Amino acid sequence: MLIHDICQALARFEVPYALVGGHAVALHGAVRGTVDIDFVIEWQRADLEKAVQALQSIGLRSALPLGVDEVWTNRDRYITERNLIAWNFVDFADPLRQVDLLINYDLTGHTVDTKPTPSGTIQVLNKQDLIEMKRQSGRRQDLEDIRSLEAL
């Protein structure tokens, strides 16, 4: 299962990470369908480099012609001028295998919960931090997720 492959690779490369997005909402107990896998890291260059190495180790490559240097150096400009909030990685041999590394969020200082699954554990952004992250986004789906999470 791709989500576990990603989490295991990030753990192997010692990347502090948290699953966010629809999968995190579901792991907190709110039913939500989603296809994409979103995660965040502590925004430090070394962690970004290790995250990319981890994703590459399981066959995922940047969907855009970007490397760590470009993303690290131009992060703020990409977010504000290009609305690039997620760096997408894909397996070009199997395009259904893809993941987004959110670049507009820093995990530093936030709480991560460990959630058990039948295939192992997953690091998930704490429910309150996830709600706040989604509140900042303001997208319709995020506002629905907030309602579902707060109803738990």
User: What is the strand order of the sheet 38-41 is part of?
Assistant: 61-62, 86-91, 94-102, 38-41, 17-20, 120-125, 112-117
Provide the mean pLDDT of the chain. Answer: 96
The pLDDT assigned to 87 comes to 98
Domain for residue 150, yes or no?
no
Is 151 a domain residue?
no
Residue 30 lies in a domain: yes
Give the residues of the chain that fall short of pLDDT 50: none
On whether the CB atoms of residues 110 and 102 are closer than 8 A, the answer is no
Residue 152 belongs to some domain of the structure: no
The pLDDT of residue 138: 86
What is the reported pLDDT for 64?
96
**Torsion over CA of 96, 97, 103 and 106, rounded to 10 degrees?**
130
Residue 148 placed within a domain: no
pLDDT recorded at residue 32: 80
Number of structural domains found in the chain:
1
CATH at 25? 3.30.460.40
Tell me the residue range of the domain where 7 lies. Answer: 2-140
In the prediction, which pLDDT does 33 show? 79
67 belongs to a structural domain: yes
Both tokens assigned to 151 = 């109803």
Position 112 in a domain: yes
79 in a domain, yes or no?
A: yes
* pLDDT, tens digit (0-9, with 9 covering 90-100), for 94-138: 999 999 999 999 999 999 999 999 999 999 999 999 999 999 998
C-beta contacts of 127-134 below 8 A and 24+ residues apart: 127/28, 127/152, 130/20, 130/24, 130/25, 130/28, 133/20, 133/105
**Phi, psi angles (nearest 5°) of residue 73:** -70, -35
